[in-house]
Amino acid sequence: MSTLQDLSVDALIEEIQAHPVNTNDFFQTFRTRRLTPRQLRVFVRQYHYFCFQFVKILEGLLYRTPIRELEMRIELAKTLYSELGSGRPEQIHIKQLERFAHSVGLQDHDLAETEPIPEVSKYLNTLHRLFVESDYLIALGAELAVETTAASEFRYFLPGLHQYKQFSPQDLEFFEHHVGEEQAHHQWLVDAVRKTAKSPADLEKVAAGARQTADAWFEFWKGMYAAVFDVVPIQ
């Protein structure tokens, strides 16, 4: 791939990393304010709902990727394998998050009964449309944005949670693990874009998916802010 194309990929990454979702009000408030037990439970229930559903949508993206796009499929498979604990059931990411949920007083049946707020549902619907119903290059851009922006949230979540003395290292394993893990996911998706987007037109499709996803993720966190900090009546 040409140097010019590489620079274009780099410019897209810089654009995603500069998106305001990476420094949104929810992240900043979470890092600096001690949440009440109720606020923590609202956050965990909604965030768990998203994470639980996301893996299935990611499976759909892998299935829909053209069979000849081997490099893209390899990087997506690595990401999915990581989400599923790299073959270790106790390290499945959603299981790590559920251990944290237990530490804030949520049981499995509480998580199973969670009703998503509209912004969570809308974001999941957006990802389903982009991953499963769109051109595979748009889908690739969407997943690139997911993994690039995900690296930001843990830089806020982990310091915020370190304010609470009641959490053990085991309770915070999900957040500790993702500080480094999301950097790997991001790099895998960058590699997939470099190996799959073979023309400026291809990269424009990737960029379109990435921008839609970053904007939708921003709306997700605006909804979470309202639910957690503005005393929206969610139990």
Q: What is the pLDDT of residues 172-225, one digit of tens each?
A: 999 998 877 777 888 999 999 999 999 999 999 999 999 999 999 999 999 999
Question: For residue 175, what pLDDT is reported?
Answer: 93
Mean pLDDT of the chain: 92
d(CA 29, CA 160): 9
Using DSSP's 3-state secondary structure scheme, residue 70 falls into helix
- CA–CA distance from 173 to each of 19, 70, 87, 161, 196 (Å)? 27, 33, 17, 11, 34
**28 within 8 A of 218, measured Cβ to Cβ:** no
In this prediction, residue 219 carries a pLDDT of 98
235 located within any domain? no
| Token pair belonging to 12 | 């897209």
Q: Sign (positive/negative) of CA torsion 81, 114, 131, 141? A: negative
Residue 101 confidence (pLDDT) above 50: yes
Can you tell me whether residue 106 is helix, strand or coil?
coil
| Overall domain count for the chain | 1
Token pair in block for residue 209: 């998916």
Domain, as residue range, for 85 = 3-229
pTM over 0.85: yes
Report yes or no on 234 lying in a domain.
Answer: no
Q: Are 119 and 224 in contact (CB under 8 A)?
A: yes
The CATH number for 193's domain is 1.20.910.10
